[in-house]
Amino acid sequence: MEIEALSVWQNVMTYFEQLERHLLDEILVFANLIQIPAVILTGVVAWLVCRPIRGWAVAWIRRVPEGHHLDWIVHHRSWVTDRLVPLITPTAWIIGLWISVAVAERAGWPHLVTRTAVSLLLAWLVIRLAAALVPYAALARLIAVLAWVVAALNIMHLLGLRRWTCSTASQWWWVVSGCRS
């Protein structure tokens, strides 16, 4: 009985030693750690830039007159200002991170952490949009699960569709243009 417990303990210790080696050799390296402040700084810049834009958007939404060609905004002012306007900042953050990934990729710099941040932030944004736009809770949950699955597959490089990372301007345009050839 002691021999089995000892072998289980040795297996656990071996696993943790391998995990420690992987963390120190692959994850906690300078190239990855330096990207964390860059991701945070991009978020701060997006927040600073979008603060006046959000204020302008709310003021514009309040000024849309009745009978305007955007009358759906008139009918849903509070929903638009409460649900959609707050998404301006994370959208700008994603765009800033996409630009950072494109620049880093072109320059040959490491960008794995930034790509991971883009995937996670994009999944979060898709989930927020689904929660705001989809009237059925079960469908919104399904979209949320799919968004997290796609983000996880992209982070693990198992997605197979490199263009969804939007790492270059042409790939980004491919997504924005509606996948037209």
* Domain segments of the chain as ranges: 34-176
Residue 1 is predicted with a pLDDT of 53
Rounded to an integer, what distance in angstroms lies between the CA atom of residue 20 and that of residue 3?
A: 25
DSSP class of residue 167?
-
pLDDT 10s digits, 5-64: 678 888 888 988 988 888 788 878 888 888 999 899 999 999 999 999 999 999 998 888
Per-residue model confidence as pLDDT tens digits over 67-114: 777 778 888 888 889 999 999 999 999 999 999 999 988 998 888 899
The C-alpha angle 174, 107, 23, rounded to 5 degrees, equals: 95
Distance from C-alpha of 70 to C-alpha of 27, rounded to nearest angstrom: 49
DSSP 108: T
